[in-house]
Structure 1
Amino acid sequence: MKNQLNDELVSAIKNSVADDQNIANLLMNILSMGKEAVYRRLRGDVPFTFDEVSKISSKLCISLDNIVNIKNTKRAFFDLDLNIQQLTDPLDHYCDKLESCILMFQKLHKCENSTARLAINSLPYMFYLPFPHIAKFRLYRWLYQLEVISTIGSYEEMRVPQKVSDIEKRFVAEQRYIADTTFIMDQNVFKSFISDVNYFYKLNLLSNNDVHLIQNELLELISNLETVAATGTQKTGTKINLYVSNIDIESSYLHFECDNCENSFLRVFSINIMDSQNPTICSIQKEWIDSLKRYSTLISVSGEIQRTEFFNMQRELTLKMGCF
């Protein structure tokens, strides 16, 4: 039984990283362990401990039910660190989540037929991480929610560590190579973000200059997104489909897939995500996102009038940011 569980874990690790990535080196970093100790575990000479399995599962975004190979069960699992308010370093937790996504993107990058489906009611990482002031505000808002902001002060006083900026840049670089991406956007996807900015402005945690910087980046994001919608492609040449939902999307649902890799995510607790590789969850998530297309308008390449109206409305809302 121990060897079987070890084999399942090693198989799950291989399916979660890029083909050309050295698994031993990766595990050495995750487990803070020497090369020979890692190889003994990979060979099955020494079983992984539960603590080691937990670290690997968290870092590589591997579902524990996949590791133990649970089959024929009505239960399906999402992985999430629910104790986020007790985190020693929330920024380390944030970086770990982005690192898990990057490893998945690297795996998808190797597949010609990789796909992503996202139904979103708030701005996703893919949209805003290229913009430092927007990214900083989303991080600031999350830390404020965790009640650790007293150690940071105002938005202007907050300093984003270099390790955070570096991993955000890596995330942006890797996610652009998914072959076919579909976004279904709630009509209020920008409005909810603008409301957050206005709220923190009224708390005097954002200055007029802070709002101006965020506003300019948001206008640039909207223009870039409109260009992508008109062409149906990203700068990397990969395909992108944009829909605007005519009904409210109650949560953000994400599904990623390629030949031998499938992941589903739910956005929770502001910038946090819970994930699952469980086949049942992935299938349901995929079908649910696809079903939302029936209630949505395609604005990529086609739907020029609707596209223009949608993005003009987002600009009008953005220009009113900070005005009461």
Structure 2
Amino acid sequence: MDYQKTFIDMIANSLPAEEKLVDFISKLINLGKEASYRRIRGEVEFTLTELVIIAKKLNINLTSLILREGGEKTIFNLRLQQESDPYSSYTKTIDAALNVFEGLDKRIGTTHYFACRSIPDVFIAQYPNLCKLQLLKIQFNADGIPPSRLADIIMPQKLLKKQAQYWEELKDIDLVYILAPNLFASTISDILFFYELSLISEEERKALKDELFSLIHDLDETARSGLFRNKELQLYVSHVILDLSHSLIESKIMDASVINLHFPNSLLSFDREVCLAHKKRMQLIKKCSSLISQSGEPAKKKFLATQRAFVEQL
């Protein structure tokens, strides 16, 4: 009953220091102390009803109890978007991220690390044409759906609200962004590709170029102040090329590992061993990076100059 030990650890980490674990369980699910002790020791399994009652009370994400099973087998949640339109697909991608946040207690310190091969969505969200480019990429990679022109893509209100909701969740978490040295390269390649296919007009190409220059200015301001949209965060620049984007959530209740595949698909795991390996990888990348928020002026200038050179290609 490995899941039971993990669940007990989650409960213990969520309780105030002065409250005893056995007393909490006994009162909440109406058990005698001996019956509660048997569950704490793992001699008796919690019933499904008991699990749900405790999880709801402490805001514990039961998905995170999907752990390593048998030998070297590791459990991943392959999050593939198969919606027929890009709007639903992008919305469900954000919903998937929000579902992970449901298992976090913001009172306990939580850190979200991002290793970014391409521009993070939170930086793109303020720019309408770059957001529409994301939708165009989803549509282009969907089976059997003719891609629209950028001009025909409209950001629905539902998606805008989801983006705002996602940022509200992030505001309560410590954020660490590690940016690839060639961060803008893939976006430039996408724009030029769709421009050659006449899915992006000359006017839109110029508008995207302007938005990217504005985004560089945002990154400069964030690095200078350590603030993005009035939220403190740490901004690093990696000295090594990142093959893909990935993120790691660390908290006292649970950890979560997310590996981005071809946008918007991803792999999610709550497995201890996966998260530990991911943590070591993230620490290695961080060691090979320079902190540019409120420090690292030479590294920041070089990074921003490189991104400007990419944008000039447009």
TM-score of Structure 1 vs Structure 2, range by shorter chain: 0.7 to 0.9
| Structure 2: distance between partners of 1:292 and 1:221 | 24
CA contact (8 A) 2:239 2:288 kept: yes
TM-score by length of 1: 0.72
Q: 2:244 aligns with which of 232, 241, 251?
A: 251
Q: Deviation per CA, 1:163-212, whole angstroms, max 9, x where unpaired?
A: 22221222233223322x22222111111111110111111100122122
Please say if 1:160 is aligned against 2:187: no
Question: What's the CA shift for 1:291?
Answer: 0.6
Please say if 1:201 is aligned against 2:164: no
TM-score by length of 2: 0.74
Correspondences of 1:91-110 after superposition (within 5 Å): 91-105=87-101, 108=104, 110=106
State the aligned residue count: 272
Correspondences of 1:174-185 after superposition (within 5 Å): 174-179=169-174, 181-185=175-179
Cα distance change on mapping 1:229 and 1:61 into 2, 3 Å: farther
Q: 2:74 aligns with which of 54, 76, 87?
A: 76
Which ranges of structure 1 fall in alignment gaps of 5 or more residues?
15-40, 47-59
Q: Secondary structure at the match of 1:297?
A: strand
**In structure 1, what is the equivalent of residue 258 of structure 2?**
265
Aligned CA-pair RMSD: 3.4
| Structure 1: distance between partners of 2:253 and 2:161 | 28
Q: Which amino acid aligns with 1:160?
A: M
Identity %: 26
Q: Secondary structure at the match of 2:78?
A: coil
Q: Which amino acid aligns with 1:131?
A: Y
| Structure 2: distance between partners of 1:107 and 1:236 | 25
CA contact (8 A) 2:180 2:241 kept: yes
Which ranges of structure 2 fall in alignment gaps of 5 or more residues?
12-46, 53-60
| Structure 2: distance between partners of 1:70 and 1:295 | 30
Cα distance change on mapping 1:100 and 1:162 into 2, 3 Å: same
Question: What's the CA shift for 1:296?
Answer: 2.0
Q: Which amino acid aligns with 1:228?
A: T
Q: Which amino acid aligns with 1:249?
A: L
| Structure 1: distance between partners of 2:278 and 2:85 | 31
Q: Secondary structure at the match of 1:271?
A: coil
Q: 2:276 aligns with which of 274, 283, 287?
A: 283
CA contact (8 A) 1:265 1:273 kept: yes
Q: 2:221 aligns with which of 219, 224, 227?
A: 227
Cα distance change on mapping 1:237 and 1:203 into 2, 3 Å: closer
CA contact (8 A) 2:115 2:178 kept: yes
Q: Deviation per CA, 1:104-162, whole angstroms, max 9, x where unpaired?
A: 34655723521111112112222212322211101211210114542x52111123333
Q: 2:118 aligns with which of 113, 116, 122?
A: 122
**In structure 2, what is the equivalent of residue 138 of structure 1?**
134
Tell me which structure has the larger Cα radius of gyration: 2
| Structure 1: distance between partners of 2:144 and 2:169 | 30
CA contact (8 A) 2:249 2:257 kept: yes
| Structure 2: distance between partners of 1:89 and 1:80 | 20
Q: Secondary structure at the match of 2:154?
A: coil
Q: Which amino acid aligns with 1:233?
A: L
CA contact (8 A) 1:187 1:244 kept: yes
CA contact (8 A) 1:140 1:149 kept: no
CA contact (8 A) 2:223 2:292 kept: yes
